[in-house]
Amino acid sequence: MKRLGRPAKPLSSNKAGHPLGELALIDLIRQRAGKATNREIRLSIGDDCAILRPRAGEEIVVTTDLCLEGRHFRRDWHSPASVGHRTLARGLSDLAAMGARPVAAFLSLALPKEVAANPTWLNGFLDGLLNLAARAKVSLAGGDTSQAPGAEVLADIVLLGAVPTGRALRRSGARPGDRLFCTGTLGGAAAELRLLQNNVIANAKKPKPPAKTLAENPHPQLFPEPRLAPGLALVRRGLATAAMDLSDGLSTDLGHLCEASHLSAEIRLPDLPLHPLAAALGPATALDLALNGGEDYELLFAADPGQRIPPTLAGVRVTEIGRLMKQRPGQPRITAIAADGAQSELTSGGWEHLR
């Protein structure tokens, strides 16, 4: 394709602050990504295409996610490492929701001239992305790089995962009477976003990406933890009838699961597991953020009532939060049950992009 950047130059000769040029940027990414570690990847960054060879008995699942500055992150709130982490985490969370094992990631980046001018931001971005990639055992196997037309960073991630043939977890498999569960805690990502907004967490303090999976994620907004191991455990142990990840908020995402499975749902509000950052904002706000905040990237899944569900999956806490029922005409799709037993209709208050 036609290159918009300047011709490639060695990084060392770029002290004048000229945009590095597409080739030099790709070279930097390629060096930092290193050799692909997944055996399925026969050819990685460097040719026109990557070559993958799936294992026998597995299907490939594919997902793509856009991360746009100003919509999904802000460079004054999210450190470069946070943006890199979040870009990959969004795609990995979709793989987790299908119960897939990550195989390869493809990153398309559009960088404004001033960001491409010196590799500091990109190196920070790659710190976050590659740290999570190493933990998730996924290889960066290709992508595309260009100068952005405007002043905003655009990052698109494509993730390929593998799942035993016919075993991927879908949204559509739930049945009436199934119990509903979620992993981890809810509301934390939105609560931490408020702290960033109000400058309680200064970007300058540079919270670090986690070195390993923690029981309680201290930075659910900056460094969300895709639930890959719990997703794999659900498939391996055949525990779930349906699953999805919670990216837009429970009130919106549960609606999607209900729709796909042609069911309605009941949620017991006192049972929702709240992240401590959300709980600290008081019960009403915490509940609002847990239902509508979004970006928690926990798993929501349904299980047959006869199926025993362990209290943790791969070390991550699992909480029963409600159940699924036959859809009845005139009945709300999602009913919320309060501590005193009062019932109300739960409408989608989470994020619906492009509404």
CA–CA distance, 270 with 284 (Å, rounded to integer): 11
From the list Mg ion, ligand ADP, none, partner contacted by residue 48 (C-beta under 5 to 8 A by kind): ligand ADP
1 binds ligand ADP (CB under 6 A): yes
Q: Does 144 bind Mg ion (CB under 5 A)?
A: yes
Question: Of the two residues 48 and 76, which places its CB atom closer to Mg ion in the complex?
Answer: 48
For 28-61, letters b (16+ CB in 10 Å) and e give bbeeebeebebebbeebbeeeebebeeeeebeeb
109 binds, among Mg ion, ligand ADP, none (CB under 5 to 8 A by kind): ligand ADP
One residue of 93, 145, 147, 264 binding ligand ADP per CB under 6 A: 145
- Select the residue interacting with ligand ADP from 19, 21, 24, 26 (CB under 6 A): 26
Alpha-carbon dihedral sign for residues 89, 65, 249, 122: positive
Residue from 80, 102, 128, 142 that binds ligand ADP (CB under 6 A)? 142
**Residue 145 CB, nearest approach to Mg ion (Å):** 7
- Which H helix or E strand runs over 141? strand 139-147
46 interacts with, out of Mg ion, ligand ADP, none, CB within 5 to 8 A per kind: ligand ADP
Going residue by residue from 99 to 128, which x/- string records binding to ligand ADP, judged by CB under 6 A?
A: --------x-x-------------------
Nearer to Mg ion, 144 or 352 (CB): 144
Question: In the complex with ligand ADP, which residue's Cβ is closer, 122 or 318?
Answer: 122
Run of H or E including 288: helix 283-292
Tokens of 220: 């659910």
Alpha carbon distance 33, 49 (integer Å): 16
Phi/psi at 344 (5° precision): -145, 160
Measured from the CB atom, is 124 or 218 closer to ligand ADP? 124
Label residues 255-278 b or e (16+ Cβ within 10 Å = b).
Answer: bebbeebebbbbbbbeebbbbebb
- Contact between 46 and Mg ion by CB under 5 A: the answer reads no
- Give the contacts of 188 (CB within 8 A, at least 6 positions apart): 217, 220, 221, 275, 276, 277, 278, 296
Neighbour-count burial of 170, counting CB atoms closer than 10 A to its CB (0-12 exposed, 13-18 middle, 19+ buried): middle
* From 5-13, 41-49, 76-84, 193-201, span contacting ligand ADP (CB under 6 A): 41-49
Q: Are 297 and 225 in contact (CB under 8 A)?
A: yes
Nearer of residues 89 and 190 to ligand ADP, judged by Cβ: 89
* Residue 26 contacts which entry, ligand ADP, Mg ion, none (Cβ below 5-8 A, type-dependent): ligand ADP
Q: Which stretch binds ligand ADP (CB under 6 A): 84-92, 138-146, 208-216, 223-231?
A: 138-146
98 binds, among Mg ion, ligand ADP, none (CB under 5 to 8 A by kind): none
- Quickly tell me which residue has 């709240």 as its tokens: 274
φ/ψ of residue 243, rounded to 5: -155, 160
- Eight-state DSSP code of residue 269: G
Binding site for Mg ion (CB under 5 A): 144
Binding site for ligand ADP (CB under 6 A): 1, 26, 29, 45-48, 107, 109, 140, 142-145
